[in-house]
Each structure stands twice: as structure tokens, then as C-alpha cells.
Structure 1
Amino acid sequence: MAFEGKLYVHERDDNFDGFIASLGLPEDKVERLKNYKPNHKLEKNGDTYTMSSLSESRNHIITFKLGEEFDETVVEGRTAKTTFTLDGNTLTQVQKFAEGTITTKREYSSDKLVVTINRSNWDGTATRYYKV
């Protein structure tokens, strides 16, 4: 896959603030998330993937196997039951929480990455754009 190992640099967001507001977090965490604009990299080693979100303030690295549910600790300190699937160049992450589900689709191409985020109990869609 042509996108593996490439560093995608955050470019802009659409409605990401709306998504963050829908989470009902304390104001200090809301501001931290609004300002979190990480670069992104996906790497594969055998049947294991490593997804890295890298920024000056925080690095978040997840290692996973496709189709295998695992416990993921997210930035708010909460735990999700997370599963990744891959269909062509689209990596889908489903995070299940007690209060609902967040679905993140990452659509890779050789020169850009488009991330769409939806969650149960919210009618909106957030989109984050990255370029190589």
C-alpha cells in the first residue's frame, strides 16, 4: 500500500469543534483537543499495524491487528473497546464507549489523508485533512 510509512501533515478541519463540543468534556480538555493538530503515520509489520499521531504537545501511538478488538485508552483517560478494519485504502476505527460509539474513517491516497469522524448521539460529521 502506497500510503504506509508516509507522514501526513495536518492541514485543516471542518466541524471538528462541533465534534469536540458533542463529547461533553470539561472546558480545559475541550481546549486541548481543539488545539491538537497532529501529524499522522501508519506503518505495517507483518499482520500488525502501528498508527502514530504526532504533535509537539502529545504523541499517541496505537498498535493493533485488523479485526481484533482491544482496550484503548483515549486522551480523556477513558477506555474504549476499539476495532480496526481495512477496505482498500480506507482504515475504519470503531471505538465503543458506555455512552456510545465513535467511528473514524481514514481515507489514504499517495498525497493526502481525509479523516471523517462520526459518533452516535450526534448528527454531525467532522473532517480533518492532511497532506504529504
Structure 2
Amino acid sequence: MAVVSGTWTMVSSDGYSEYLKAVGAPLMQRAAAEKDTPTIELSGEGEAWTLKTLTGLKNYEVSFTLGTPVEHKGVEGLPAVSTFTIDGSRLTDTATIDGGEAKAVYTFGGGAVQATFTAKGVTATRVYNSTT
């Protein structure tokens, strides 16, 4: 399956608080993230895309052109510079956050998205099911 536009709601999360700690997110942000059930929305085609993360506390949005660095605030609330790429069924966000590298890989398939987040040797996984 290719990367597609759509809306997905989180159904499981493993290790996300530890990932947020690794990228430098404050304790309150980490605690809130553990209790939230975010929805992600991806829209676009070709080279231009927008990724939204909708949470109970705050929404985050980044519009990007594939392969071009873009400055934004990530869901951890920290300034980031990200470069997004697509390879088959994977959307990859390679970011610099607080001076360190972090990566989010969104793998699309079977009506779901598996997101794997890594930073400073810490890995977290979240699974989202399609709502569209």
C-alpha cells in the first residue's frame, strides 16, 4: 500500500512517554500525552503534504514539500526542523529537535498506520486505525 490521505485515531501506544523524555519534552507534556488519544490527518499528493495531529489539549500541523527541510513545532511542543520523505508505504520525518536527531516513520497498510518514533536510543510505537 502507498502513503495515502486520510484520518486515523490512535488505538495503542508503547513507550511514547520515554520517547518524549528523550527529545526533551517537559514532564507535564509527557503526562498529558500518555492520557490522550490523538488523531492524525494526512492530506496531499505529489510533493506537497500536510500532517495534522489532533489532541485533546492542542492541535499540531506541519505542511511540507518532500525532501525540503521545514521549521515547525512538533507534538512534543519543541521547535524542530524536519525533512519528510516517502518510500512506498512509509512516510518518514527526520528531524532535529533540541540539537538531537529524532525520526518518526509512519507505515501505512491494512486500514492502519503504525508510527515508530526514535531518539537517543529510545523507540516508541503507536498504532492508528482508519476513521475514513
TM (normalized to structure 2)?
0.84
Larger Rg belongs to: 1
Q: Secondary structure at the match of 2:122?
A: coil
Mapped contact 2:85–2:91 kept (Cα < 8 A):
yes
Mapped contact 1:71–1:81 kept (Cα < 8 A):
yes
Alignment RMSD (CA, Å): 2.1
Which structure has more RCO (C-alpha within 8 Å, separation ≥ 6)?
2
Q: Going by fraction, where is strand more abundant, 1 or 2?
A: 2
Q: Which residue of 2 aligns with 1:43?
A: 43
Q: Are 1:111 and 2:79 an aligned pair?
A: no
Residue 24 (structure 1) shift: 4.1
Q: Which residue of 1 aligns with 2:28?
A: 28
Moved more, 45-54 or 20-29: 20-29
Residue type at the aligned position of 1:29: Q
Point out where structure 2 has 5 or more consecutive residues left out of the alignment: none
Residue type at the aligned position of 2:111: D
**What is the percentage of aligned positions where both structures have the same residue?**
25
Mapped contact 2:53–2:75 kept (Cα < 8 A):
no
Q: Are 1:128 and 2:132 an aligned pair?
A: no
Distance 1:58 1:124, change over 3 A: same
TM (normalized to structure 1)?
0.84
Q: Are 1:59 and 2:55 an aligned pair?
A: no
Point out where structure 1 has 5 or more consecutive residues left out of the alignment: none
Distance 1:85 1:46, change over 3 A: closer
